[in-house]
Amino acid sequence: MPKEFPIDGSRDALWMATAVSAPDTVSLSHELSRDVVIIGGGLTGLNAALHLARNGTSVAVLEAATLGFGASGRSGGQVNLGLNLGPAALIEKFGKATGERLIDLIISTPDQVFSWIAENQLRCDPVQNGWVQGAADKHQLKAQQAMSAEYRAHGCELTLLDADAISERTGAYGFTGGLYCASAGSLHPLSYTRELARAALTRGAEIYTNSKVSGLEQSASQQWRVYTGKGSISCRHVLVCTNGYTDSLVSGLKQKLVPVRSVLAATEPLSDTLRQQVLPKQVTFVDKRRLILYFRYDRDGRLCVGDHGPMRDHFRADDFNAVKKRAVAVFPQLENVKWDYHWGGRVAMTKDTLPFLYQIAPGLTAGMGYNGRGVGMGTMMGKALAQTVIDPEKCDFPQSKPNRFLMHKFHSAGVSMTVKWLALRDHLDSL
Ligand SMILES: Cc1cc2nc3c(=O)[nH]c(=O)nc-3n(C[C@H](O)[C@H](O)[C@H](O)COP(=O)(O)OP(=O)(O)OC[C@H]3O[C@@H](n4cnc5c(N)ncnc54)[C@H](O)[C@@H]3O)c2cc1C
């Protein structure tokens, strides 16, 4: 294995090797005028583009690198209930009416994602076999019991499993119990992203890659001009969809997010015997410790395992050895399997662990901050961002002003220390 991995993961990412091909795109090299410009060609931006194009709105996407270069082409591809927080916390934050609307959105997220894929005929290996979250101890189980009760009171089938049921669904032993959500599943994240782009292009959207936005300017007439190195677009609305790859383009936005890293490794296609022992029901699986470990199969029977990563974008062999070691601790049967692919990327965390739909200025709106749940939630946010343009009254997602992280420039050191502390607590709990 090479010592370092390129930031775009193109050499070693499973998804790069197995995705549908990307649609042809060029970089922006002229001046245009459109209704909407979207900054960021990940699944949030491309979902917004597809909704807008289907509505007949003229829209152009500007992506600094290639489609899916960010988290959208690197993720674990798990499609989960939209948020990490429970209904009570959401109602407390947003009030009863808005909170309940948001809860409905969260509960419907997986079904909405899978029907959107079917409706637009997106070739991205969707699988809706359910999601299991295993509790490592009685404290976690207690938290899961409360979460299950709250969601069930809102009509969501988030079922509690006992230790035997966890083993039966996952093949893993040693969990005290856990949660099961039947509507969740997985997809091929890079294919999903590229297919969204293809569908948006077919509907009339324009997409420019290798077109990093270098400047934004608002004119007196409520128009924006968005500049890249070689061209510019004037528009009424700018949607910022840069998530964990947010730079200093929009003043103060970067400070609302902390980009932590997550790394994944994928095995060779496992034998039938191993597949009957490891996730025999083909569910997606999360080992709910303080530092979570997440599992799924791809369409060829490779097991993909994700873990927390280091606070840098260039990954090393050691980072991936740690993932494999933790995976083997959960499934000892993996001891001798070959690991073929390794990659990672940035997960955008927010202060209150919630994503935000944030109107920065009239005509300038950001949607991001999914805290590791962006495959589902980014899909919903893309729709909500499009709604802010088409019909703000119908917008599914509440607008909010996110808090900034204090001492943001020291976030790398802060996250590294926190990860060590959480790892120690997980270790102590396991004794
Ligand atoms: C390793 C990993 C595993 C994950 N696993 C899961 C999972 O299993 N399930 C789940 O729900 N979520 C998961 N996530 C999170 C999920 O992938 C993201 O939340 C989601 O993909 C975010 O999509 P996005 O389009 O908002 O952002 P991104 O996909 O990050 O796209 C942002 C884009 O903006 C572009 N950009 C930045 N600045 C500029 C600029 N100035 N001009 C033009 N373009 C710019 C970037 O190049 C990038 O392509 C994971 C994330 C990672 C990194």
Mean pLDDT of all residues belonging to the chain: 92
Tell me: pLDDT of 430 over 90. Answer: no
Atom of ligand 1 nearest to the CA of 381: 26
pLDDT of residue 237: 98
Q: How many residues does the chain have?
A: 431
Token pair belonging to 42: 């990940």
Q: Whose CA is nearest to atom 25 of ligand 1?
A: 42
Using DSSP's 3-state secondary structure scheme, residue 19 falls into coil
pLDDT digit string (tens) for 29-76? 999 999 999 999 999 999 999 999 999 999 999 999 999 999 999 999
Residue given tokens 């060609």 in the structure block:
41
CA distance linking residue 167 with residue 192, whole number of Å: 31
pLDDT of residue 427: 64
* Residues with a CB atom less than 6 Å from ligand 1: 39-45, 62-65, 69-72, 74-78, 80, 212-213, 241-245, 247, 249, 262, 264, 306, 344-347, 368, 370, 372-376, 378
Token pair belonging to 20: 């549908």
CATH 3.50.50.60 describes domain 14-126+187-257+346-408: yes
Mean local confidence (pLDDT), 394-412: 85
Atom of ligand 1 nearest to the CA of 345: 53
- Most confident range, picked from 77-91, 363-377, 400-414: 363-377
Q: Whose CA is nearest to atom 20 of ligand 1?
A: 374
Among 20-34, 168-182, 357-371, 412-426, whose mean pLDDT is lowest?
412-426
In this prediction, residue 431 has a pLDDT band, given cuts at 50, 70 and 90, of: low
- pLDDT above 70 as % of the chain: 94
The identity of residue 124, as a single letter, is: C
Atom of ligand 1 nearest to the CA of 77: 8
**Predicted model pTM:** 0.95
Q: What is the CA radius of gyration of the chain?
A: 21
Atom of ligand 1 nearest to the CA of 367: 26
Atom of ligand 1 nearest to the CA of 241: 26
Pocket test for ligand 1, best of 192, 245, 349 (most atoms within 8 A of CB): 245
Closest residue by Cα to residue 360 from 226, 221, 240, 248:
240
Q: Whose CA is nearest to atom 21 of ligand 1?
A: 72
Q: Whose CA is nearest to atom 11 of ligand 1?
A: 373
In this prediction, residue 3 has a pLDDT band, given cuts at 50, 70 and 90, of: very low
pLDDT digit string (tens) for 188-240? 999 999 999 999 999 999 999 999 999 999 987 889 999 999 999 999 999 99
Tell me: pLDDT of 11 over 80. Answer: no
pLDDT of residue 192: 98
pLDDT of residue 421: 67
| Cβ(72)–Cβ(42) below 8 Å | yes
pLDDT of residue 70: 95
pLDDT of residue 310: 85
pLDDT digit string (tens) for 348-378? 999 999 999 999 999 999 999 999 999 999 9
Q: Whose CA is nearest to atom 3 of ligand 1?
A: 75
Full strand arrangement of the beta sheet holding 177-181: 158-162, 177-181, 131-135, 284-288, 293-297, 302-308, 258-269, 339-349
pLDDT of residue 144: 92
pLDDT digit string (tens) for 289-332? 777 899 999 999 999 999 988 878 888 888 889 899 999 999 99
